[in-house]
Amino acid sequence: MFEELFVAKPHVFICSNHPLAGREALDLKDLEEYPYLSFEQGEYNSFYFSEEILSTLDRNKNIKVRDRATLFNLVIGLNGYTVSSDVISKKLNGENSVAKPLQIDKELCTVPEYMRVGIITQKNMPLSRYGQAYVEALKKHIDTNDE
């Protein structure tokens, strides 16, 4: 089952020193020469459950990683980028990463202009107490950031 937590517009995460960091917004054409970073979900991953919006587009440079720390290190070290919501934790990722709105050209791709962010749980299977505590903490954090 899917439970929506919030709706967000797609953003590009880049290094604060990236050559495009001074722009207000970016489009895919702006990013063509830079490496795209995405998560490889393991040997038995599902094409249909990618974390990133626009993950099916062909890119000249594509690097797959298996953990978030590596992804953000490569965003900084290689002037790479990833596409996600505008939610970024300065505590986890430091001050070196920034999120810029992604302008989507409707002629190039037909993805929605927003992302529905939520949690997926197994139907008829209650969350553990730790899972419930985690979801409640997420909801409190989201409510705090909406103000």
Q: Is residue 124 part of a domain?
A: no
DSSP class of 41? -
In a domain, 127, yes or no: no
Into how many domains does the chain fold? 1
DSSP per position, 124-145: T-PPPHHHHHHHHHHHHHHHHH
Asked whether residue 57 is assigned to any structural domain, the reply reads yes
How far, in Å, are 6, 32, 42, 103 from residue 26 at the CA level?
23, 11, 30, 6
- Reading the chain (147 residues) residue by residue, the pLDDT tens digits are 888 888 888 888 889 899 999 999 998 889 888 998 877 665 655 554 445 555 556 667 777 777 777 777 778 888 888 887 767 666 665 677 888 998 876 655 555 677 788 888 888 899 999 999 999 998 888 765 554
Q: Which domain holds residue 81?
A: 7-116
> Which structure tokens are listed for 147?
């103000």
Helix (H) or strand (E) holding 77: helix 68-77
Which CATH number fits the domain that encloses residue 64? 3.40.190.10
**CB-based contacts of 103, cutoff 8 Å, min separation 6:** 25, 26, 27
